[in-house]
Amino acid sequence: GTGREVSTSDAFALVQRAVGTDIAATPRPEVRDAVKRMALDISTTQRVLGWAPEMPLEEGIVHTVAWYRSHGM
């Protein structure tokens, strides 16, 4: 929700680093009519709810992986 576009492969690499693995991604055939690019605009959420992300995606993934590990997952 930062308005910054992140590709699937970049997101996968962030998760790889956070988990500490070099497992390879398994490419799949492209889905016809699939959304190819996306960046979320959270301006309405910020205006209506007063909420905004508190940390960058990279740090959030690290925290998420740590939470799962601390809960035995």
From 11-15, 33-37, 44-48, 51-55, the region with the lowest mean pLDDT: 33-37
- pLDDT band (50, 70, 90) for residue 1: low
Spatial distance between the Cα atoms of 17 and 6, rounded to a whole number of angstroms: 16
16: tokens are 């790889």
- The pLDDT of residue 2 is 67
- pLDDT band (50, 70, 90) for residue 58: very high
How much is the pTM? 0.76
Q: Are 56 and 13 in contact (CB under 8 A)?
A: no
Spatial distance between the Cα atoms of 38 and 55, rounded to a whole number of angstroms: 20
